[in-house]
Amino acid sequence: MPSAIPPPPPSLTTYLRSLEDTPLDKSITTLISLLKRRQIRSSRSCALATTKLLIAVVEAGSPDSSHNTWSSTSALITRIRQVGRKLISAQPKEIVIGNIVRRVLGVIREVADRDSETGNAADLSGSEISGPTSPVTGERSVLPMRLSEFSSRDVLSGRPGTADSIASSTFSAPMAGPPTQQQRPNLMNAPTGTSLFSILQHPQQNPSRSTSSPYATPPAGTQSPALRPSPTSKSTISNAEAGGESLDIKAEVLDGLAELLDELSVVDSQIAESALEHIHSGEVILTHGSSRTVQRFLLTAAGKKRKFTVFVAESYPNDHSATHDTLVNGAQPPVSPDDEGLGGEKGRWRGLTAAGVTVVLVPDMAVFALMPRVNKVLLSPHAVMANGSLLAAAGTEGICLAAKEHRVPVVVLAGVYKLSPVYPFDEEGMVEYGDPSKVVGFAEDGRFVDGVDIVNPLSDFVGAEGVGLYVTNLGGCAPSYLYRVVGDHYRGEDVDLGVEEAGSRV
Amino acid sequence: MAPSVGGDPAAPTDTAASQSAPDGSSKAAIDGAQTSKTSAIASSGKQENGVANGETKASGAEAKKRAKAEKAAKREREKAERAGAGGTAAGPQASEQGGQSSGALKPTQNQQKGQKDRQGEAKAQAQAQTSSKDAKASHKRTGSVSAANAQRPLALRRRPSQSGGQAKESKQIVKEVGLFGHLYNQPRRYTIEGASKAVHPAVLALGLQMSSYTICGSSARCVAMLLAFKKAIEAYSTPKETSLPRHMSSHYLSPQIDFLKTCRPISVSMGNAIRWLKDQIIHIDPDTDDGEAKAELCAGIDQFIRERITVAGSAIAASASTKIKPGDVILTYAKSALVEQTLLRAHEAGTDFRVIVLDSRPLFEGKNLARALARAGLRVQYMLLSAAPHAAKEATTVLLGAHAMMSNGRLCSRVGTAVVAMLAHARAIPVIVCCESVKFTDRVALDSIVQNEIAPSEELLLPSAAAGVADGGSLAKWKETPGLQLLNIMYDVTPAEYIDMVVTEFGFLPPSSVPVVHRISTERDVRT
């Protein structure tokens, strides 16, 4: 449910509400202007708004079609890329927008792959050739057999390091495509010639991508298995029953996007699940600002009767009032991805102090003085780059460096949606500058403002060396491993969307 | 009812009134706001009085009861008022009155009288303050007192924390940050109530100026203290059967120093100056005539200020400004008189450079520096400390002021300095500390927790919250939130390895040479 920085609820909620009954083109332009005007900010709000809008785009169907359908996945991809480019260039500094667009494209491409595979398989089964071995795949065919046994369900049930992760990274080219039980036999049954043929058939598939890797985000359906039939089973049914290919694409893509939406809503509770692995009793923790992810994480640990102390740097002048508010009244629950707030918590969360945690609010400049006594630093960034560096609220770099100087581990809590495949070539360009009147208002000291150049940066870029550990909704990993998690979630062909993004010099 | 009740309790209420008068005088605060407050009490007292007069025709017992209730209510209000004014003497008076509250008319009249007295006294206090303003003006001549504050009327100088300062004490057990528990016994005095009679008015005024940050900064406080002591010494006369060297430091200066210590913990430079002054006093020949000895001491003080602070400051500014090259971007944090002097000097010398001033809550001292520099025509950027990495990217040199240099080479300065030094060090930007040798100490420090100064937590409230505005931010409720603590430390200790150079009046030093120079300079002091 929760995430990074408190969104300005009116704009995001009103936008999500209006999405239902507004024409699509207007929704797109509204979101663009909201992003430009920074009325929707914070990673989570942007992610949510982007996802919802792209869902609406998919639902609306192809602009050329009169039946609200999509004739082909390539048309859908073109459309999503086009809308995505608009959104990204509206606010290039919100890295998350680009992440979500790429994730959506990834979902579509996955559907496209499955689609073409099943199409292939149907043709091939018609020719009734079903030899399992071949000169090329002879030895490998054993692995796919095992793979089908260790289907994605095993991975989801938390069994790490099964053969498929190795297999998929090593032999992903011949067996690319989601390792689902329905499709795998088809692929294996393919005759020698076709198996070679299929290698050539799908050169665009990203070898590094594999949905079955243990680090790939499990479908959020695992959270509520009863509610949603798995997209694959649905697809087979629809494949079997009707030849309505175009409808199938739309439904499958929407299913994938619903999973993405679910991921956004459970990401913080998933991260918080590992709280007890990181917080021991009597610990002194330093955090910065009012991130909901961190609040949730700490609350979970406090709820399990761990007594600890939290120092909170207030993040003056851009986020201090939210920090104060969170500390005194408890965190605002985030805007629910479901418009009506399906089962979402009403009202505020319990404050950390109410959970029995000693909370000390400190000004930002005191972090160095406190650092020798701090056991752990908990941060929640705006965005995380593939190389393990991160972008977070201004003041973070000072905290990370002080922590490094005092050998205090920095634990960064970030949902996978914050991971960006973009490599930060231009660190300066990623930093956003804000309203200088928050530093000194013209009204309070006009002559001062006149004579002095006032600067108010909103974000800090922190290199990977400043971070000790990343905790994502998939578990913890070292900054150096992050590129792999990124590889699991994005398709290589989507990394370059053809727009100028912050930090990337395309 | 009046005769039946008034006769008997007259005596006790009189004592109450007489007690409230001195009480009031001591509590009468120093500014106009307080005066208006007391007059408000007086008028409300009058009103009540009228009500009581009009309705006493009812039954005696009933009137008695009502009078009691009114009195209790008034006591409550007064208590609150007093707590607000930072008074501590509310307790005894209230309990005294609690015993005998049957009088309805007399007491209110008496109290009214008492309040009028109080008003008068408050005015007197205000006058005392204006005289202290003169003293302040003389401090200003040294150039170390922050200029911006000097023009403001005294009434505005009080920190928002003042009103809450004492009320906090009842809940302090919860509101103290455990790690810093040992630091919370430092007193912060905002009124002259309960000050020893021996304390000279100039010192009284100075104490309040220090606790309200009107005079802030290590050397400024040191100079102001010495000047106040000079006034005090001039007013001193040796009692019979003792001699000046024997009596003055232990019996006359000590209460002054103790008073200053209750206003704000004294700085290292003040401690050094006091040590020097006591040494001077001891070395006066007991046979010297009072006037002569005092003149000698005053001349000595003037010389100390000139040598150790004024001239030392300009020497440091002169040598440090040679380190500023054309095109440089100088990064500094908060406000240091020495850094300001250095930058202005380099600017006057025609060097073309620009300055980034970093600043922090709650004191915003850097604003004064930025303003002064901008007025002098320098190109100034102003950022808050959270922007330090951005500033450090552009900076070519970091110039820092000091509260004290520790014997192990570490720098004790305004909290936040260490962050700036660390960021600069990480980017291999030279960090230069400007520090007079009077700020050197033989104490050592490893972290910022053992030795530090805790300022009242209320200073961290946003201005609107501190003023008690309803929508003044959620932090206004912090005291009612159990488990929530605010930490407002004043200094932090910068590791010696972040510091590349210390500029003193003896020249450029590495931080490791601090103890050596300290030894030399104190030896010289003792010899003279």
Q: Of A227, A262, A297, which one is at a domain's C-terminal end?
A: A262
Query: pLDDT (tens digit, 9 = 90+) per residue, B90-122?
Result: 344 444 444 444 444 444 444 444 444 444 444
Q: Of A195, A230, A262, which one is at a domain's C-terminal end?
A: A262
Domain contains A424: yes
Higher pLDDT: A360 or A223? It is: A360
**Helix segments in B305-453, DSSP class H:** 312-321, 337-348, 365-375, 388-394, 417-426
Helix axes A73-90, A245-272, angle to 10 degrees: 40
Q: The tokens of B352 are what? A: 């073309």
- Statement to judge: residues A451 and A303 lie in one domain: yes
Listed as own residue / partner, the contacts of A125-128 with beta carbons closer than 8 Å and 24 or more positions apart are A125/A186, A125/A189
- Statement to judge: residues A396 and A310 lie in one domain: yes
A349, A333 in Cβ contact below 8 A?
yes
Nearest to A316 among B384, B389, B486 (CB): B384
Mean of pLDDT over chain A = 74
Q: The tokens of B451 are what? A: 């030795």
Domain contains A33: yes
Average pLDDT score over residue span B207-234: 91
Which pTM was predicted? 0.72
- Statement to judge: residues A318 and A341 lie in one domain: yes
Q: Å from B488 to nearest chain A CA?
A: 7
**How many whole angstroms separate alpha carbon A146 and alpha carbon A167?**
10
- Statement to judge: residues A389 and A251 lie in one domain: no
Would you say residue A417 has pLDDT above 50?
Answer: yes
- The pLDDT, as a whole number, for residue B53 is 46
- Statement to judge: residues A247 and A355 lie in one domain: no
Least confident of B43-47, B346-350, B496-500: B43-47
In the structure, what pLDDT confidence band is assigned to residue A344 with cuts at 50, 70 and 90?
Answer: very low
- Statement to judge: residues A248 and A385 lie in one domain: no
- Statement to judge: residues A302 and A251 lie in one domain: no
Q: Of A262, A297, A315, which one is at a domain's C-terminal end?
A: A262
Helix (H) or strand (E) segment spanning residue A477: strand A475-477
- The pLDDT, as a whole number, for residue B46 is 43
Nearest to A365 among B383, B419, B475 (CB): B419
A145, A188 in Cβ contact below 8 A?
yes
Q: Would the CB atoms of B386 and A311 count as touching at under 8 Å?
A: no
Provide the percentage of residues in chain A whose pLDDT is more than 90: 25
**Residue A28: which CATH number?**
1.20.120.420
Query: pLDDT (tens digit, 9 = 90+) per residue, B167-198?
Result: 444 444 467 888 888 888 877 888 878 788 88
- Statement to judge: residues A292 and A337 lie in one domain: yes
Q: Residue A451: which domain range? A: 267-494
Domain contains A163: no
Contacts of A23 (CB under 8 A, 6+ apart): none
**Residue A379: which CATH number?**
3.40.50.10470
- Statement to judge: residues A451 and A485 lie in one domain: yes
In the structure, what pLDDT confidence band is assigned to residue A75 with cuts at 50, 70 and 90?
Answer: confident
**How many whole angstroms separate alpha carbon A125 and alpha carbon A109?**
24
**How many whole angstroms separate alpha carbon A265 and alpha carbon A339?**
12
Residues in B touching A395 (Cβ below 8 Å): 385-386
A315 touches chain B (CB under 8 A): yes
Query: pLDDT (tens digit, 9 = 90+) per residue, B390-449?
Result: 999 999 999 999 999 999 999 999 999 999 999 999 999 999 999 999 999 989 999 899
Domain contains A450: yes
Domain contains A208: no
Domain contains A180: no
Domain tally, chain A:
2
Query: pLDDT (tens digit, 9 = 90+) per residue, A20-67?
Result: 778 888 889 889 988 888 888 888 889 999 999 999 888 887 777 667
Domain contains A169: no
Q: Would the CB atoms of A456 and B447 count as touching at under 8 Å?
A: no
- Statement to judge: residues A336 and A408 lie in one domain: yes
- The pLDDT, as a whole number, for residue A252 is 86
Domain contains A256: yes
Cα distance between the two ends of chain A: 34
- Statement to judge: residues A256 and A307 lie in one domain: no
Higher pLDDT: B358 or A328? It is: B358
Q: For residue B213, give the 3-state DSSP assignment.
A: coil
Provide the percentage of residues in chain B whose pLDDT is more than 90: 38
Q: The tokens of B117 are what? A: 């007295």
Mark which residues 317-336 of A lie under 8 Å from B by CB. Answer: 317-318, 320-321, 324-325, 327-329
Rg (CA), chain B: 27
**How many whole angstroms separate alpha carbon A460 and alpha carbon A419?**
16
**How many whole angstroms separate alpha carbon B216 and alpha carbon B204?**
16
- The pLDDT, as a whole number, for residue B188 is 81
Residues in A touching B426 (Cβ below 8 Å): 401
- The pLDDT, as a whole number, for residue B511 is 92
B291 by Cβ neighbours in 10 Å (0-12 / 13-18 / 19+) ranks as exposed
Nearest to B485 among A360, A440, A445 (CB): A360
Would you say residue B496 has pLDDT above 70?
Answer: yes
Q: Would the CB atoms of B390 and A358 count as touching at under 8 Å?
A: no
- Statement to judge: residues A364 and A490 lie in one domain: yes
